[in-house]
């Protein structure tokens, strides 16, 4: 599953788009993002619109990424239009599905 990352400097925003299956195969990429994220990052949009399947390992990786970003004070928005994703993503934020944009 490829991860596409783009940084919008004037907004201090990181956009992450996932394609295909979100599973353990993206672990290294997500770990690298966690290590390299700027402490000045204000917002991050995680777009799962093109993701096909969300495995338990993918949920765990998103939890790690979400936790790292929020520790830095970054506002995180997760875009997911599939109901089966939205139900599972409340585990990522720990705050219920209201944190996940449809």
Provide the token pair at 17. Answer: 């788009």
Q: Taking a C-beta distance cutoff of 8 angstroms, is the pair 100, 86 a contact?
A: yes
Is it the case that residue 87 has pLDDT exceeding 90? no
Domain locations in the chain?
Answer: 3-101
Is it the case that residue 90 has pLDDT exceeding 90? no
**Mean pLDDT, the chain, as a whole number?**
89
Is it the case that residue 69 has pLDDT exceeding 90? yes
**1 band by pLDDT with thresholds 50, 70 and 90:** low
The fold of the 3-101 domain, in CATH, is Transcription Regulator spoIIAA (3.30.750)
Q: Measured between alpha carbons, how far is 34 from 60 in angstroms, rounded to an integer?
A: 13
């Amino acid at each position: 599953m490829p991860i596409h990352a783009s940084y919008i400097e004037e907004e201090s925003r990181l956009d992450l788009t996932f394609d295909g299956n979100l599973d353990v195969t993206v672990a290294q990429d997500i770990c690298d993002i966690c290590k390299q994220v700027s402490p000045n990052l204000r917002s991050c949009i995680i777009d799962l619109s093109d993701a096909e399947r969300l495995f338990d390992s993918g949920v765990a990786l998103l939890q790690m990424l979400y936790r790292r970003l929020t520790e830095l004070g970054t506002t995180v928005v997760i875009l997911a239009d599939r109901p089966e994703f939205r139900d599972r993503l409340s585990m990522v934020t720990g705050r219920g599905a209201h944190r996940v944009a449809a």
